[in-house]
């Protein structure tokens, strides 16, 4: 379906009153429209008219996100583009929209309607009038400096109050400086001074996030630098909507990236084509000497794209090749071409054959033990992009187009791999997954599963989380969806609070075997209340489950509970579309259903599997 066809289909669903019933069909339609560079706001206006309760009645498993929007000016115009951007990523928006200029009251009063909405995200829109409404007439740079400093002090206080009151993520933004404000100063010295103090104040605003783990500060300078207007004069004057519709649409797109991360939907793998994507020409027809790798206009464009791909790989994004080519010539180019920048070792796997790319992506996902919805697929061929999008709707498809100069922008514009912070695990992820593929090779060569497990030399360490583990533990809770038995999402501050709770033991799971160290790959949240123990959280990376790791850790926790006087252990499980494969995990290990969870009476505890060497450390928790 083309972008125009997708637009027609959405409009038809709206006219027929079928948007709520067809809501699962909306994300791929919006993806097609976004591919055509069309403004999604129009379609967001249609979707915003839906009652979320009606959508959920038709689709009870639909993922939702409650977002509170507040600010200095009128914030209602953000709802339509935000609705569309969240829908594009498979999320249903539940908006709470505050009144005009109510952000100070909203954030400072724990009894406000904003807090009562129990949002997942809180967006506090800061616009130029947030500052200039505090500036006298006439004014000079010193007046602006004083007003901005006072506002920063206030914002710091509001952020502190927010973190003490809510578990949501708060989003502020840097304040753009419209040209018409600088132009009111007729001497260049004053304009320069205004530019300096404005940038210094925004830098202070950005640094707020360093001291407040529950805060994200979105830098809008890159958006306005691309030509997005800051304001629309009539809307600003007449409606007090002080940011332009174009800027709100770009802002909503960035919030969509953050929403994916908050809901555990960040992507992990970038699978790229070769011909027309990493180099110019067709290898099978032009040969290794005939493809355009570097030099000249198009060669420089392909080089710039490969640099970005390598940059992403250096930050923990898994890189793979999925190309319709013969494997031997591809291997030779990757191994021998000196200007390519990318080599075989940069990719966890290079798949070159003449099979449908959707099937190759599915096989690669199975080999990596990942869901296909962890993948981003980038290709310059409309046919290949359409085939993958149709066969694997969970894959994010980036259609690159025919001009390689636009490849970088198309790949980066949707922040598919955005995360709050990088960990040491991220930087070694590619090597970890290459090792995982070596394990798969051993598995295939072993006569039986038991023989394979016996050869692994598996060592599991279960120990209390330490300060250095905070970022990785948070990341696991946010990004793990399959073996995540309650799917609670923890920001870093949540992890620190759990570690400080005397009634809770937050245990990390580390795994190593004959192939190397997999690092911190899981966690267990255990607490005591009276005579009972509670397993509130159990998370394990897909890289290591089904090897006996989960059984060994569960056995250790149950034995520890019994040894420290618990009469029984209760375990929580909240089913989702992703974790249903482990719905019977607790019953298979001696638990019986009890209302909303499971109970183990600690009479008979199965030992860890024989092939696992378990090393465990615990700290006492108060009952």
Question: Are residue 86 and residue 226 in the same domain, yes or no?
Answer: yes
Question: Are residue 175 and residue 323 in the same domain, yes or no?
Answer: no
Question: Are residue 384 and residue 273 in the same domain, yes or no?
Answer: yes
pLDDT at 622 over 70: no
Domain at 181, CATH number: 3.40.50.1110
Average pLDDT of the chain is 91
Exposed/middle/buried for 103, CB within 10 Å: 0-12, 13-18, 19+? buried
Say which residue the tokens 């080999």 belong to: 367
> Residue 363: is the preceding peptide bond cis (ω within 30°)?
no
Each as own residue / partner, the long-range contacts of residues 236-240 (CB below 8 Å, 24 or more positions apart, any chain) are 236/73, 236/129, 239/74, 240/73, 240/74, 240/100, 240/129
Q: Is residue 623 part of a domain?
A: no
Domain end point (choices 206, 237, 262): 262
Q: Is residue 295 part of a domain?
A: yes
Number of residues assigned to the chain: 623
Which H or E element spans position 520? strand 516-529
Q: Is residue 589 part of a domain?
A: yes
Domain at 309, CATH number: 3.40.50.1000
Question: Are residue 287 and residue 429 in the same domain, yes or no?
Answer: no
Mean pLDDT on 161-170: 93
What is the distance between the alpha carbons of residues 89 and 393, in angstroms, rounded to a whole number?
11
Q: Is 517 helix (H, G, I), strand (E, B) or coil?
A: strand
Domain count, the chain: 4
Q: Is residue 322 part of a domain?
A: yes
For residue 399, what pLDDT is reported?
A: 94
Q: Calculate what percentage of the chain has a pLDDT beyond 70.
A: 99
For residue 616, what pLDDT is reported?
A: 87
Give residues with Cβ within 8 angstroms of 130, minimum separation 6. Answer: 71, 72, 73, 151, 175
Question: Are residue 301 and residue 358 in the same domain, yes or no?
Answer: yes
Q: Is residue 417 part of a domain?
A: no
Domain end point (choices 412, 435, 469): 412
For residue 1, what pLDDT is reported?
A: 65
What is the distance between the alpha carbons of residues 405 and 412, in angstroms, rounded to a whole number?
13
For residue 292, what pLDDT is reported?
A: 92
Domain hosting 5: range is: 1-38
Mean pLDDT on 577-587: 87
Domain end point (choices 358, 389, 412): 412
Q: Is residue 530 part of a domain?
A: yes
Q: Model confidence over 98-127: pLDDT tens digits?
A: 999 999 999 999 999 999 999 999 999 999
Cα radius of gyration (the chain): 26
Which H or E element spans position 252? helix 245-262
Question: Are residue 436 and residue 302 in the same domain, yes or no?
Answer: no
Distance from the Cα of residue 431 to its chain's centroid: 21
pLDDT at 179 over 90: yes
Q: Model confidence over 338-379: pLDDT tens digits?
A: 889 999 889 999 999 999 999 999 999 988 888 899 999 999
Question: Are residue 374 and residue 305 in the same domain, yes or no?
Answer: yes
Most confident of 274-278, 296-300, 431-435, 484-488: 274-278
Q: Model confidence over 474-513: pLDDT tens digits?
A: 988 888 888 888 888 888 888 998 898 888 999 999 998 8
pLDDT at 445 over 80: no
pLDDT at 335 over 80: yes
- As given in the structure block, the two tokens for residue 401 are 């187009």
pTM of structure: 0.80
Question: Are residue 519 and residue 545 in the same domain, yes or no?
Answer: yes
Q: Is residue 622 part of a domain?
A: no
Q: Calculate what percentage of the chain has a pLDDT beyond 90.
A: 69
Question: Are residue 453 and residue 384 in the same domain, yes or no?
Answer: no
Q: Model confidence over 315-334: pLDDT tens digits?
A: 989 999 999 999 999 999 99
Q: Model confidence over 43-72: pLDDT tens digits?
A: 999 999 999 999 999 999 899 999 999 999
pLDDT at 206 over 90: yes
Question: Are residue 233 and residue 333 in the same domain, yes or no?
Answer: no
User: What are residue 375's phi and psi, to 5 degrees?
Assistant: -100, 145
Cα angle: 522, vertex 526, 531; to 5 degrees: 160
Domain at 430, CATH number: 3.40.630.30
Higher pLDDT, 313 or 545: 313
Q: Is residue 418 part of a domain?
A: no
For residue 289, what pLDDT is reported?
A: 87
Question: Are residue 247 and residue 337 in the same domain, yes or no?
Answer: no
Q: What is the DSSP string of 550-604?
A: HHHHHHHHHHHHHHTT-SEEEEE----TTTGGGTTHHHHTT-EEETTEEEE-SSS
Q: How confident is the model at residue 623 (pLDDT cuts 50, 70, 90)?
A: low
What is the distance between the alpha carbons of residues 247 and 229, in angstroms, rounded to a whole number?
6
User: What are residue 532's phi and psi, to 5 degrees?
Assistant: -110, 145
For residue 517, what pLDDT is reported?
A: 85
Distances, alpha carbon 562 to alpha carbons 503, 505, 553, in Å: 16, 15, 14
For residue 577, what pLDDT is reported?
A: 80
Question: Are residue 186 and residue 69 in the same domain, yes or no?
Answer: yes
What is the distance between the alpha carbons of residues 227 and 535, in angstroms, rounded to a whole number?
52
Measure the N-to-C terminal CA separation of the chain; round to a whole number of Å: 59
Q: What is the DSSP string of 315-380?
A: TT-EEEEEEES-HHHHHHHHHH-TT----GGGSSEEEEESS-HHHHHHHHHHHHT--GGGEEEEES
Q: What is the DSSP string of 457-488?
A: -EEEEEEE--GGGHHHHHHHHHH--SEESS--
């Amino acid at each position: 379906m083309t972008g125009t066809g997708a637009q027609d289909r959405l409009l038809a669903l709206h006219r027929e009153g079928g948007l709520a019933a067809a809501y699962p069909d909306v994300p791929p339609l919006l993806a097609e429209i976004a591919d055509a560079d069309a403004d999604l706001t129009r379609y967001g206006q249609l979707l915003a008219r839906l009652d979320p309760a009606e959508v959920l009645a038709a689709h009870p498993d639909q993922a939702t996100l409650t977002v509170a929007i507040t600010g200095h000016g009128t914030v209602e115009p953000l709802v339509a583009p935000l609705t569309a951007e969240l829908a594009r990523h498979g999320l249903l928006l539940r908006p709470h929209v505050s009144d005009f200029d109510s952000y100070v009251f909203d954030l400072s009063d724990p009894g406000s309607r904003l807090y009562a909405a129990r949002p997942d995200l809180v967006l506090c829109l800061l616009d130029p009038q947030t500052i200039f409404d505090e500036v006298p007439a006439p004014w000079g740079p010193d007046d602006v400096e004083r007003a901005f400093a006072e506002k920063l002090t206030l914002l710091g206080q509001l952020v502190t109050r927010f973190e003490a009151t809510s578990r949501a993520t708060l989003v502020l933004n840097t304040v753009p400086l419209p040209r018409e404000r600088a132009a009111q100063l007729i001497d260049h010295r004053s304009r320069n001074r205004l530019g300096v103090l404005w940038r210094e104040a925004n830098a202070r605003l950005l640094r707020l996030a360093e001291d407040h783990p529950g805060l994200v500060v979105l830098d809008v300078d890159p958006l306005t630098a691309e030509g997005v207007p800051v304001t629309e004069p009539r809307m600003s004057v007449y409606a007090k909507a002080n940011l332009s519709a174009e800027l709100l649409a770009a802002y909503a797109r960035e919030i969509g990236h953050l929403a994916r991360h908050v809901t555990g939907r960040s992507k992990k793998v970038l699978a790229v084509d070769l011909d027309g994507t990493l180099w110019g020409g067709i290898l099978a027809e032009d040969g290794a000497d005939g493809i355009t790798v570097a030099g000249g206009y198009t060669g420089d464009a392909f080089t710039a794209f490969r640099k970005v791909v390598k940059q992403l790989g250096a930050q923990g994004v898994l890189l793979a090749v999925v190309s319709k080519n013969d494997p031997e010539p591809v291997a030779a180019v990757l191994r021998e071409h000196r200007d390519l920048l990318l080599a075989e070792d940069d990719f966890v796997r290079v798949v070159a054959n003449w099979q449908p790319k959707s099937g190759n992506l599915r096989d690669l996902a199975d080999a990596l033990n990942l869901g296909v919805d962890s993948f981003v697929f980038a290709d310059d061929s409309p046919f290949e992009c359409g085939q993958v999008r149709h066969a694997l709707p969970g894959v994010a498809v980036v259609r690159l187009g025919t001009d390689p100069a636009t490849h970088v922008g198309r790949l980066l514009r949707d922040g598919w791999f955005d995360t709050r912070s990088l960990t040491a695990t991220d930087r070694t992820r590619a090597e970890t997954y290459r090792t995982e593929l070596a394990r798969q090779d051993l598995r295939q060569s072993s006569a039986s599963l038991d023989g394979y497990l016996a050869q692994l030399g598996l060592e599991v360490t279960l120990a209390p989380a330490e300060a250095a583990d905070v970022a990785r533990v948070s990341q696991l809770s946010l990004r793990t969806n399959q073996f995540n038995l309650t799917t609670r999402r923890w920001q870093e501050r949540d992890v620190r609070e759990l570690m400080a709770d005397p009634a809770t033991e937050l245990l990390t799971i580390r795994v190593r075997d004959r192939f190397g160290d997999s690092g911190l790959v899981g966690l267990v949240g255990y607490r005591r209340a009276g005579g009972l123990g509670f397993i509130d959280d159990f998370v394990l990376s897909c890289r290591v489950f089904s090897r006996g790791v989960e059984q060994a850790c569960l056995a250790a926790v149950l034995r520890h509970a019994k040894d420290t006087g618990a009469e029984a252990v209760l375990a929580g499980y909240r089913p989702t579309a992703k974790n249903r494969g482990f719905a019977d995990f607790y019953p298979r290990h001696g638990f019986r259903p009890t209302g909303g969870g499971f109970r183990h009476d600690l009479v008979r505890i199965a030992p860890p599997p024989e092939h696992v060497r378990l090393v465990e450390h615990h700290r006492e928790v108060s009952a």
